[in-house]
Amino acid sequence: KTCVVDGDTFYLNGTKIRIADIDTPEISQPRCASEKHLGEKAKLRLRDLLNAGPFELAAWEGRDEDHYGRKLRVVLRDGKSLGNQLVSEGLARTWNGRREPWC
């Protein structure tokens, strides 16, 4: 069972996964209305991508979990990052090690 929390976080079989290679806008504590709107779009798109078929989780080199205890993983389908697909659609940024403002 998969439950999408936001554009870069979801539960898979009870384990909370943080997509390691992207950052998406916040929806729980957005800094502006446009961030929340884009974050909602990213969440729905991630849900659709995850539901589109089988995917694999790859470990993030050097770190297994983030400081919230979420498993850091890259989500792959046919060897391609679903995170990169969100980036190409303008719904995420490539993770560079720190959060950037969306507003």
Active site residues: 18, 26, 70
Given a contact cutoff of 8 angstroms between Cβ atoms, the answer to whether 47 and 97 are in contact is no
Residue found by looking up tokens 């993030």 in the block? 60
What region, left, alpha or beta, does residue 23 occupy, with left being phi > 0 and alpha being psi -120 to 50 degrees? beta
Decide: 27 and 40 in contact? Cβ < 8 Å: yes
Burial tier of 67 (Cβ tally within 10 Å: 0-12, 13-18, 19+) = exposed
